[in-house]
Amino acid sequence: MKRIILTGAQGTGKTTILNLLGGMDKASGGVITVDGENVTSYSKRRLTEYRRRDIGFVFQFYNLIPNLTALENVELMKDIVDININGLEVLDSVGLKDHANQFPAQLSGGEQQRVSIARAVAKQPTMLLCDEPTGNLDFKTSATLLKFLKENKIKHKILGNGSNLLFSDKTYNGVLIRLNEFDKVDFLPRNKIIVGAGYSLMKLSLQASKKGLAGLEFAAGIPGTVGGAIYMNAGAYKSDMGYIVQQVKVLTPDLKVITLSNKEMNFHYRSSFLQSHPGYICLEVVLKLTKGDKDALDEVIKERRKRRMESQPLEFPSAGSVFRNPEGMFAGQLIEEAGLKGKKIGGAMVSDKHANFIVNYDNATSEDIKYVIDYCHDEVLKKYGVELKIEQGLVLSL
């Protein structure tokens, strides 16, 4: 017997999606009966399992990608599976046609759920085959999925929260994988934390400060996952992940799970071993913090949150800081002094609040944003001889 594995955070309509995918008899009390067999929902693991004779599939349900509109989220299914869909018709079927060009952050929770359901409707029952299914999404399951993708030469990319990624206007012709089920966290003695790659970095920072653990408060405003933060060596306020990581559990290109030390991770400014070795995937991290004062840590986080609200264009969609700061300089300052604040191309604009943010102020395309990025890069290079390096990731459609 093989299994379909459907994942998603609480309230993302997993049971509804299973019904919409077809072949279901009824849903009652968390148990769905199909062909005389039960589908049991395990809320603790946020996992739904569906068993059916002679079918072997693995279906990963992904949360909405924040920098894609509702319509783009639905149409993302087109090249993941071999289907032709009309995204507007699918959105119309769940009452969201008028919201097609809005981003997830602009939608209510219920509307976001309906977009998720629309994506599943668009996908229909075409799923990935898994030879050795397991009962949960663990390291072994991930390795099995990656083995299948590699053997069948299917393009794929591992995502964290997608918060610093710029996606092409064209559909990504492959499989996007989020490790959001790797969300276990354990606070251990001696100020240590073991946390999964899919855990929210902001949430972890706040939890640590409430427990009087110092060293992670710099991350209270970084909207990514722990795994993404390790990959980027995310940081702020003269600190970063490299200062607090003790060791990292990774999946190697030959699908073995190994542990790398802090030194082996080779952390530097916005870089790590994982960036220079793209076949390695962060699964779990051990952090080492220090004892601190809860009230003092809370005050620091509140003060920085206020500063962030005042200095960053959080009222517009963006993928965060665009360029890395050159040594001894600030990218935003260079862009501002080059007279580029407020520069617009299409629907993209250099923020007039913080010049190292390029915002989507009017239904910008990815191409619009890329043009603004390139323009800022070229102008700063021409005026100051400084080569700005992009901090955001680009997800291409090729």
- The encoded tokens of residue 323 equal 């360029």
Per DSSP (E only), the strands in 183-269 are: 185-188, 192-196, 213-214, 235-236, 239-240, 245-251, 257-261
**Residue entry with tokens 């990218």:** 331
If you average pLDDT over every residue of the chain, what do you get? 77
Would you call 324 exposed, middle or buried from its count of C-beta atoms within 10 A (0-12, 13-18, 19+)?
Answer: middle
- CA dist list (Å): 398 to 75, 90, 162: 16, 25, 18
- The encoded tokens of residue 75 equal 């149409």
Q: Each residue of 103-126: b (16+ CB within 10 Å) or e?
A: bbeebeeebbbbbbbbbbbbbeee
The whole-angstrom separation of Cα 305 and Cα 219 is 11
- CA dist list (Å): 321 to 103, 236, 381: 19, 11, 18
What pLDDT, on the 0 to 100 scale, is given for residue 152? 82
As a whole number of Å, the end-to-end CA separation of the chain is 36
What pLDDT, on the 0 to 100 scale, is given for residue 373? 95
What pLDDT, on the 0 to 100 scale, is given for residue 48? 33
Task: State the CB neighbour count (10 A cutoff) for residue 321.
Answer: 20
Ramachandran category for residue 331: left, alpha or beta (phi over 0 → left; psi -120 to 50 → alpha): alpha
Residue 394, helix vs strand vs coil: strand
Task: State the CB neighbour count (10 A cutoff) for residue 25.
Answer: 12
What is the set of active-site residues?
270, 321, 391
The angle that helices 294-311 and 201-210 make with each other, rounded to 10 degrees, is 150
Q: What are phi and psi of 292, to 5 degrees?
A: -145, 175
Report residues of the chain scoring pLDDT below 70: 1-65, 76-85, 94, 113-114, 116-138, 395-398
Residue 331, helix vs strand vs coil: helix
**Residue entry with tokens 């952050």:** 105
The whole-angstrom separation of Cα 373 and Cα 234 is 20
Check: CB of residue 82 under 8 Å from CB of residue 122.
no
Check: CB of residue 55 under 8 Å from CB of residue 2.
yes
Task: State the CB neighbour count (10 A cutoff) for residue 377.
Answer: 19
H or E, element range at 28: strand 26-28
The whole-angstrom separation of Cα 176 and Cα 10 is 21
Task: State the CB neighbour count (10 A cutoff) for residue 245.
Answer: 22
Residue 275, helix vs strand vs coil: helix
Domains of the chain: 3-178 (no CATH), 185-294 (3.30.465.10), 316-392 (3.90.78.10)
The whole-angstrom separation of Cα 96 and Cα 14 is 19
Could you report the per-residue pLDDT of 171-206, keeping only the tens digit for each? 777 788 888 778 899 999 999 999 999 999 999 999
The whole-angstrom separation of Cα 103 and Cα 168 is 16
Could you report the per-residue pLDDT of 59-115, keeping only the tens digit for each? 334 456 677 788 877 776 554 444 456 778 777 776 788 888 888 888 887 777 667
What pLDDT, on the 0 to 100 scale, is given for residue 113? 66
- The encoded tokens of residue 191 equal 């100020």
What pLDDT, on the 0 to 100 scale, is given for residue 134? 34
**Residue entry with tokens 């509109």:** 69
374 Cβ contact partners less than 8 Å away, ≥ 6 residues apart: none
The whole-angstrom separation of Cα 186 and Cα 167 is 34
